[in-house]
């Protein structure tokens, strides 16, 4: 739990920045008739054409962060940009705060990067951990989005307005969700409050038990863990190793230290086993790490004893 807590405070703070937007009529400054510039949030609210972005920032709980000192650079999609997304996408994001925060963080770069600096770049690393590409061959594009207005200077950074929403590459949770075989694991991650961490920069190596693996646990074990967030976090973090360990790296190890603190035993004498679990699929790639699929849930000593005692 403590390890995961340290993983995302900075990312969560910065992702709020995505709240920004500015009407075309504005002349490149967050304050037109004021001596003091507005911050990113106030600018977005007053602009009038970033209502979806503002709503998203509020739903993600990032307003105070976006009002922080920064400086931050925000590539801010307009309402028209959000309207281009497939039907239901915005509603789904608003109902999934961790995923929403990841999307918002993907629009934010640490520091004050003005237009003159942007055009000299080929890519820029966002606070999500993934990079956006910058193309200046025909105007300025960030990934697939056109930059339609630049250098909206604010008290805590700068806004560049874009005409499309930037969507990051699939992270560990996205990959698990799309696989369809990790519904129990996904539900447990959200119940334990670890979704933000597993959507963070990482990288992480996850030994992921399938739904069938969870079904092998004694009756009532999953239900009991879902009611005990601390034990659930201990069990889940026992499946995660810091760093990106491909299969070729794993087979060279005798053990691996997990984020929970205890070590996993690795046995390659017959296939590959992690503790008592067989690795049934390897090297499932994600933007922030790698997944190895296992057929049994791993239980750390304390959690195992505690669950059995119940």
Q: What residues have CB less than 8 Å from 58, skipping those under 6 apart?
A: none
User: Where are the chain's structural domains?
Assistant: 2-162, 172-309
pTM over 0.85: no
The β-bridge relationship of strands 255-257 and 240-242 is: unpaired
Q: What class, spelled out in words, does domain 172-309 have in CATH?
A: mainly beta
| Strand (E) or helix (H) holding 29 | none
Tokens 């930059």 -> residue: 147
Q: What residues have CB less than 8 Å from 209, skipping those under 6 apart?
A: 182, 184, 185, 239, 277, 294, 295, 296, 297, 298
User: What is the Cα–Cα distance from 277 to 137, expressed in whole angstroms?
Assistant: 51
Q: How far is CA 125 from the centre of its chain?
A: 14
In tens digits, the chain (310 residues) has pLDDT values of 334 333 333 333 333 333 333 333 333 444 444 446 798 888 888 888 899 999 999 999 888 887 888 899 999 999 999 999 999 999 999 999 999 999 999 999 999 999 999 999 999 999 899 999 999 999 999 999 999 999 988 899 999 999 999 999 999 999 999 999 999 999 999 999 999 999 999 999 999 999 999 999 999 999 999 999 999 999 999 999 999 999 999 999 999 999 999 999 999 999 999 999 999 999 999 999 999 999 999 999 864 444 433 3
Q: Is the peptide bond preceding residue 71 cis, with omega within 30 degrees of 0?
A: yes
Would you say the CATH fold of 172-309 matches that of 2-162? yes
User: What is the Cα–Cα distance from 280 to 295, expressed in whole angstroms?
Assistant: 7
168 close to 106: Cβ distance less than 8 angstroms: yes
User: What is the Cα–Cα distance from 207 to 226, expressed in whole angstroms?
Assistant: 19
In this structure, which CATH number among 2.60.40.10, 1.10.3720.10, 2.30.180.10, 3.40.50.620 belongs to the domain 2-162? 2.30.180.10
């Amino acid at each position: 739990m403590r390890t995961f807590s340290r993983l995302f405070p900075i990312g969560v703070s910065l992702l709020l920045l995505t709240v920004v937007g500015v009407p075309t009529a504005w002349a490149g400054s967050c304050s037109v008739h004021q001596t003091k510039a507005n911050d990113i949030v106030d600018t977005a609210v007053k602009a009038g054409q970033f209502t979806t972005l503002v709503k998203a920032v509020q739903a993600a709980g990032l307003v105070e962060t976006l009002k922080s000192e920064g400086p931050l650079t925000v590539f801010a999609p307009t309402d028209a940009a959000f309207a281009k997304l497939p039907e239901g996408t915005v509603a789904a994001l608003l109902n999934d705060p961790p995923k929403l925060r990841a999307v918002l963080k993907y629009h934010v770069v640490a520091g004050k990067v003005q237009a003159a600096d942007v055009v000299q770049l080929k890519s820029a690393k966002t606070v999500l951990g993934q990079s956006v590409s910058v193309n200046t061959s025909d105007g300025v594009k960030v990934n697939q989005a056109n930059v339609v207005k630049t250098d909206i200077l604010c008290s805590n950074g700068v806004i560049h307005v874009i005409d499309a929403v930037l969507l990051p590459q699939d992270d560990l949770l996205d990959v698990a969700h799309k696989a369809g075989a990790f519904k129990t694991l996904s539900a447990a991650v959200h119940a334990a409050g670890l979704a933000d961490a597993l959507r963070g920069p990482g990288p992480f190596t996850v030994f992921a038990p399938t739904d069938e693996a969870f079904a092998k646990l004694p009756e009532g074990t999953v239900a009991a863990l879902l009611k005990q967030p601390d034990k659930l976090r201990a069990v889940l973090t026992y499946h995660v190793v810091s760093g990106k360990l491909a299969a070729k790296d794993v087979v060279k190890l005798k053990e691996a230290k997990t984020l929970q603190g205890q070590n996993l035993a690795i046995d390659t004498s017959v296939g590959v086993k992690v503790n008592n679990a067989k690795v049934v699929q390897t090297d499932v790639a994600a933007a922030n790490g790698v997944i190895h699929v296992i057929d049994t849930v791993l239980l750390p000593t304390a959690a195992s004893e505690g669950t059995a005692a119940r």
